């Protein structure tokens, strides 16, 4: 069973059409939830870290929120340059690797913004 | 500029050969990580290192080996024992091994035929 599930898998929007991406998680003892942006053929680019329910972070047209079971990445009035795959990852207590900070990633949401 | 570099960007090998992927960081981070990314799957942790001369297996360590002789460097060797080595490999680092954001390199795409 996936511990981190992102939806939708793909999303196509018109420029200026606001929407939200979802990341639901089932891990216990959440130590942090991370959002990354990944362009094709490149490494993920860090966007936000959220640590506790109710926390919100903003950067330009992006806003990330966190509840006890899920996180949303809200995109307001997106532009074509916002097109990318958005990855969600969690850091949990008691990671099987012996307490290290290996992140557990979702499969990502592929976002396309059409001009 | 501080950052993480991975080389080469593309790598081609014949089946049965070992290959080493390079990862260097000048961020003065203690912890470093190797992930593998396959189409339709999330990134999966191969190995990680919290300090020099120490490293631990992640979820999919079989067929891989690492070393951490210097703080700045964390090379990954893909051995012939790895059954499906073709993938996009990503190296990351974080300030400490106790939480906090990880920063990724540009990746190496390995193709084994």
pLDDT-derived band of residue B1, with 50, 70 and 90 as boundaries? low
B33–A46 CB contact, under 8 Å: no
Query: What are the two backbone dihedrals, phi and then psi, of residue B27, each rounded to the nearest 5 degrees?
Result: -95, 0
Q: Does the pLDDT value for residue A95 go beyond 80?
A: no
**CA-based nearest residue to B101, from A5, A28, A90, A4:** A90
Contact A44 B104 (CB under 8 A): yes
Predicted confidence (pLDDT) per residue in A18-77, tens digit: 999 999 999 777 889 999 999 999 999 999 999 999 999 999 999 999 999 999 999 999
Count how many residues are written for chain B.
Answer: 113
Here the tokens at position B71 are 């703080």
Query: In this predicted structure, what is the pLDDT of residue A92?
Result: 75
Residues of chain A with Cβ-Cβ distance to B44 below 8 Å are 105
**Does residue A101 carry a pLDDT above 80?**
no
| d(C-alpha B49, C-alpha B46), whole Å | 11
**B111 contact partners, CB below 8 Å, separation of at least 6:** B10, B11, B12, B13, B86
Q: What is the pLDDT, as a whole number, of residue A31?
A: 85
A 10 A CB-CB count for B27 gives: 14
Mean pLDDT of B69-92: 96
| Distance between CA atoms of residues B85 and B90, nearest Å | 13
Instruction: List, as ranges, residues 41-70 from B with C-beta within 8 Å of A.
Output: 41-45, 48, 50, 56-59
Reading the block at residue B108, the tokens are 């190496």
Q: How much is the pLDDT for A96? A: 45
The pLDDT score that the predictor gives to residue A91 is 86
Is some CB atom of chain A closer than 8 A to the CB atom of B103?
yes
pLDDT range class, residue B33, cuts 50, 70, 90:
very high
């Amino acid at each position: 069973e996936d511990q981190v599930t992102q939806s939708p898998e793909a999303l196509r929007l018109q420029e200026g059409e606001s929407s939200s991406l979802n990341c639901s998680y089932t891990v216990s003892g959440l130590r942090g939830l991370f959002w990354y942006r990944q362009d094709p053929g490149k490494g993920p680019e860090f966007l936000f870290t959220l640590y506790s329910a109710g926390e919100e972070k903003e950067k330009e047209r992006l806003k990330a929120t966190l509840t006890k079971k899920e996180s949303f990445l809200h995109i307001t009035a997106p532009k074509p340059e916002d097109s990318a795959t958005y990855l969600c990852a969690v850091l949990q207590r008691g990671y099987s690797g012996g307490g290290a900070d290996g992140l557990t990633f979702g499969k990502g949401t592929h976002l396309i913004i059409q001009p | 500029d501080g950052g993480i570099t991975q080389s080469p960007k593309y790598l081609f090998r014949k089946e049965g050969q070992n290959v080493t992927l390079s990862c260097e960081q000048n961020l003065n981070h203690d912890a470093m990580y190797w992930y593998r990314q396959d189409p339709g799957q999330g990134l999966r942790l191969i190995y990680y290192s919290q300090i020099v001369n120490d490293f631990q297996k992640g979820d999919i360590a079989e067929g891989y080996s690492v070393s951490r002789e210097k703080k700045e460097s964390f090379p990954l060797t893909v051995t012939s024992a790895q059954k499906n080595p073709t993938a996009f490999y990503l190296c990351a680092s974080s300030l400490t091994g106790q939480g906090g954001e990880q920063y990724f390199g540009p990746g190496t795409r390995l193709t084994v035929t």
